[in-house]
Amino acid sequence: MNEVLHIIKFKIKSALIFNLDFSAKGIIKNLATIFVYALFTYGIYNVTFSIIENILTQYRLGEFLLHRFIAMILFVFFLAVNAGNIVVSLSTLYKSKEVNFFFSTPIKYENIFIIKFLDNFFYSSITLIIVLLSVVAGYANYFKLGIDFYLFALFLIVIPFILIAALFGAIVLLLLIKVASKIGLKISLIILVSFYLISLIVFFNNLNPMSMANEVLANYPYVNFYFGYLDTTLVKVLPNFWVSEALYWYLRSDYEKVFSFTYLILSAAFVLFVLLFSLAKKFYRESYFAFSDLRLTKRENFTSKNFLSLLNISKKNSQISAILRRDFFTFFREPSQLVHAAVMVLLIFIFLISFTGIDLRFLGANPEIQTMIYLIIFLFNCFLISSITLRFVFPLISLEGETFWKLISSPFNLKKLVVTKFLVYTIILLIVSLTINTIIHFVIDTRLILVSTIIIIFVTVTLTAINLGFGGLFANFKEKNPIRISSSQGASTAFLISLVYLGLVIGILFAPIFNYFYSFYFNFHNHTPEIIIPAVVAIVTISIPLIILFIIMALKSVRRDY
């Protein structure tokens, strides 16, 4: 274990040295990043405070329902972190040059695994911890909790909960590689995705927020009682339930129950860590060498001419053809890219399943609740698109690699390179976002399909431009791992800027959407989507300059001196 601590110590030193850039350009970047983080955390804090205030003060749903909503959100969050960690660990534990170096040293294989796991956990979880701390701050300020709650929430709730999700993801990855070496990677992935989808469906069948809300509100005004008898046995064994229960009983000052649920969280983290270490000791070396033989696709025959062959390039637009074919083959030859794409598809299914059965036109005939639920669903759609653009668009320029100087010194049209990448990914993302948007509105309210389609088109294009622009500004041509690129400081800045933009969009939409549902409820003559058109115009007016600005940023970034 001493060698683990020794390597981690020097990793921390190297990370600090690498990120300390005292040049004018570096200082400006760091100050801009700090400003964006501060703005983002303040926004998350305000949103959390407002949501809790609305649930408890305006809608008077009670603290029990509030914490069951928290449990539901934490479950989706747990799955997202868990699935994302599988993909990140796949890259860092099996495709890293550093791992290749460690394998040539006398360091034990299980220690190599733990070193890379911890490196991966702290490298990719900082933003998540900041987000959850902002939520904790909003929660604590509303209930007037002291500094002791912040320490309790950070070290005994937030970090252990994220660690449980990450540990479980790493365990699943080890077992996935082990099973895939026997039955094939494609079948193993199908089994894995099916497992997550079934888990999601079973969870929402056991914790239906709408039916639970109806049962609790049937006891109105006594909604602050504890309705634990409504919880099923399955829900009670999940970490997200332990977190919500620990928070609930902390407010009730029942510290015996707080201790019991906190003990469960910490025990689960410890047991999973021991299990992961044992599995790594037994399977990591074997799985590392087995991974190199795993393939998702058949080997390509590059001597034959087909639609995507590099030999079948027309003279007209030959540069564009070469770019498209190269990117296509690069993507589909990289298992981590395909696995991450499968994870994104899984998250989309999670999103679509989670709101099935909601019809906002008849949801309690309450315009406030209708508006809140609609905007949350719309925001989740935008958030998914933002996550996809961060993962697949932000690394595009960096992935040109150290040979990028060849493009700069050649007659290759760099503007065409950037514009082609932008257009291709914009088209793909538009197909995804419009499909999700259409399904959503067929379920909740078909009247809003047209206006929402216009909004989602401009939101998608803007998010793509933001990530391409920042991807060029923070380009790292020495990093070949797209996952680490999309987890870098520049990627976090792009993600936070995207969230600020989405917050602005939601702010613009709030009043018109509320007026729409309000007029619909009272059967006014103007209960048509036309009342939302001014908001659509405002969003389009804001989005177009941002799209132009970030495309110009991307174009200028590839022309700078290297």
Q: Which residue range is the domain that position 67 belongs to?
A: 1-29+40-293
Is 471 inside any structural domain? yes
If asked whether residues 4 and 148 sit together in one domain, one would say: yes
Q: Which of 276, 293, 310 is the last residue of a domain?
A: 293
Give yes or no: residues 415 and 486 share one domain. Answer: yes
- 281 and 193 in a single domain? The answer is yes
Do 370 and 287 fall into the same domain? no
**What pLDDT score does 1 carry?**
60
Low-confidence ranges of the chain (pLDDT < 50): 297-305, 307-311, 313, 363-364, 525-526, 561-562
Query: 370 near 517, Cβ under 8 Å?
Result: yes
Which pLDDT score, from 0 to 100, does residue 204 have? Answer: 66
- Amino acid, single-letter form, for residue 431: I
Given 293, 328, 360, which residue is the final one in a domain? Answer: 293
pLDDT score for 465:
92
What is the pLDDT, as a whole number, of residue 444?
74
Query: Does one domain contain both 102 and 149?
Result: yes
**Looking at the structure, do residues 263 and 340 belong to the same domain, yes or no?**
no
Rounded CA gap, 302 and 283, in Å? Answer: 35
403 plus 449 within the same structural domain: yes
Of 555, 489, 500, 547, nearest in space to 29 by CA: 489
> Is residue 59 situated within a structural domain?
yes
Same domain, 209 and 337: no
Long-range CB contacts (within 8 A, 24+) of 542-549:
542/504, 542/508, 543/458, 543/459, 543/461, 543/462, 544/458, 546/462, 546/465, 546/466, 546/501, 547/458, 547/461, 547/462, 547/465, 549/465, 549/469
In a domain, 467, yes or no: yes
Residue 302 included in any domain: no
Q: So what's the pLDDT on residue 139?
A: 92
- Does residue 308 lie in a domain region? no
> Do 151 and 100 lie in a common domain?
yes
Give the chain's domain count: 2
347 lies in some domain: yes
Q: What share of the chain is helix, strand, coil (3-state, %, to 5)?
A: 80, 0, 20
Q: Of 258, 293, 328, at which residue does a domain stop?
A: 293
Return the amino acid letter for 257: K
> Same domain for 433 and 339?
yes
Q: Are residues 453 and 325 in the same domain?
A: yes
Does a structural domain hold residue 310? no
The pLDDT value recorded for residue 270 is: 95
Residue 168 lies in a domain: yes
Q: Is the domain of 243 the same as that of 328? A: no
